[in-house]
Amino acid sequence: EVQLVQSGAEVKKPGESLKISCKGSGYSFTSYWIGWVRQMPGKGLEWMGIIYPGDSDTRYSPSFQGQVTISADKSISTAYLQWSSLKASDTAMYYCARHHTVTTGRFDPWGQGTLVTVSS
């Protein structure tokens, strides 16, 4: 079974750094892009970026370029999303999902989500 399992919920203070993870299993992790999607409380889905774990080629949404860093460690089939200095506005649910980039770009499957709360 293809599965993406994300790290647990985080509570952080403004200005702190954070790295959340997404571990893939059940398929060749280096053969598919992984995407990250933000969902702020009560809002819709926003694409943040995608990474190809095979060579770490990364593409960012212009809205998130410079705000976050996407990375991957193919040796442990894990992708990451990190912040160097969190803001209250980063409070959201973050999902990773396998992106079928070479075909028509659907996301399937999705991780269970990681809730990030930033509050002083």
Enumerate binding residues for another protein (CB under 8 A).
Answer: 35, 37, 44-47, 50, 59, 61-62, 95, 97, 99, 101, 103-113
Cβ of residue 110: shortest distance to another protein, in angstroms? Answer: 4
Please state, in angstroms and as integers, the Cα–Cα distance from residue 96 to each residue in 13, 36, 59, 103, 119, following that order.
Answer: 23, 4, 14, 18, 23
* Residue 13 or 43 with smaller CB distance to another protein: 43
Least separation in angstroms between CB 62 and another protein:
8
Nearest-approach distance from CB 57 to another protein, in angstroms: 11
List all residues 6 or more positions away from 80 whose beta carbon is below 8 Å from its beta carbon: 19, 20, 21, 22, 69, 70, 71, 72, 73
